[in-house]
Every structure is written in C-alpha cells, then in structure tokens.
Amino acid sequence: MDAVYGDRITAGLITSNVDFGTATNREFDLYLLYSLDAGSDLTLDLAAWRYTYRHEYNANYNEYMLGLHYRQGVANVWYADDYAGAGGNQFYYDAGITLPVTNEYSLQLHAGHTDCDAQVGVEDYSDYSLAILTKYVGFAFSLQASTTTGDHPGDSYDDKALIRVSRSFALF
C-alpha cells in the first residue's frame, strides 16, 4: 500500500486466484485500515483483514496488522490466531522500502518472515521481492519478482513473477 498522509480510514476488497490442490480456486479478502499521521513523516497503521476462500469455508480466517511508515520505508507485524482455519497462530514480520528511480518509476524492495505454530502445518519461512512500480491514468501498476526460503509442498512457495493493476478511489 502507498504511504498515507493525514489520518485516514480505508476499506477494501481484494480478490485473487489460488491453488491449494483443492476445489478452492478463488480468494476474497476484505480489509479495514486506520492510518494515523504521527507527524515528522511517520504514519502508524492498524488493520483488520478477513480472508475467505470459495468452497473452503473452514480455511477462512482473520488477520490483524500493526505497521509503521517512515518516509519511503515500512515495517509491519501481522497476527492470525487461527491461520487458515488450522487452529494455530501465525506471525508475519515484513519491511520494505520504495525508492524513486525516475519521475514515473519506483523500485520496491521487500523482505518478510512467517512464523507458524506447529498445528498450522507450515514450516517457518522467509520471502523476498523486488518490484518496479508506476502509475498511469489513475491506475497503479507493478511488475514483481518474488521468492521464498525453505522446502514447502505445492507451488504456492515457488519463485513467481506477478503483474498487479490496482485503482483506489474515494466513495465519500
């Protein structure tokens, strides 16, 4: 998410395809974010997310985030008390920086670490990404390459290239 200046409440819906090797192929996420301008280029973020999976309702779960933005940098702590319906806790720690390259393009560097309870059934792992960002006629575009550590089953942890297109707008 872009840095926010001034106190603000944001709500959103995100959808994505998923492949868990089950009947589920679609994820819908709802979120509510409160950003508090703490002054001196510092913003505090508090968020609540609801992850839902089509045909896999037992995997639905909530996640909460506390984050800090300072200029182009961001650091977050995420917590889920019933990660993916598995009955265990999950913490995700991430940090990143967005660096302007030209007036039209920025480079985004990101690193994160996932720490799961044993009952979640996922080994702890880290993730890294590099993205090129730009905006055009009100849309935000990114081209991202990402990778993870560890040896995990399935393709959800493989190296990926992602193209993302988004648009934010005010309802009120």
- Which long-range contacts does 56-63 make (Cβ < 8 Å, 24+ apart)? 56/20, 56/22, 56/23, 56/24, 58/85, 59/20, 59/24, 59/84, 59/85, 60/85, 61/85, 63/90
What CA–CA distance (Å, rounded) separates 25 from 46?
Answer: 29
**Does the pLDDT at position 156 exceed 70?**
no
The full set of domain ranges for the chain reads: 8-166
Q: What is the pLDDT of residues 120-152, one digit of tens each?
A: 888 899 999 999 999 999 899 999 999 988 765
Residues 6+ positions from 12 with CB-CB distance below 8 Å? 30, 31, 33
**Does the pLDDT at position 68 exceed 70?**
yes
**Does the pLDDT at position 53 exceed 70?**
yes
**Does the pLDDT at position 5 exceed 70?**
no
Q: Rounded to an integer, what is the distance from CA 144 to the centroid of its chain? A: 13
Is the domain spanning 8-166 CATH 3.40.630.10? The answer is no
Q: What is the pLDDT of residues 71-106, one digit of tens each?
A: 999 999 999 999 988 899 999 999 999 999 999 999
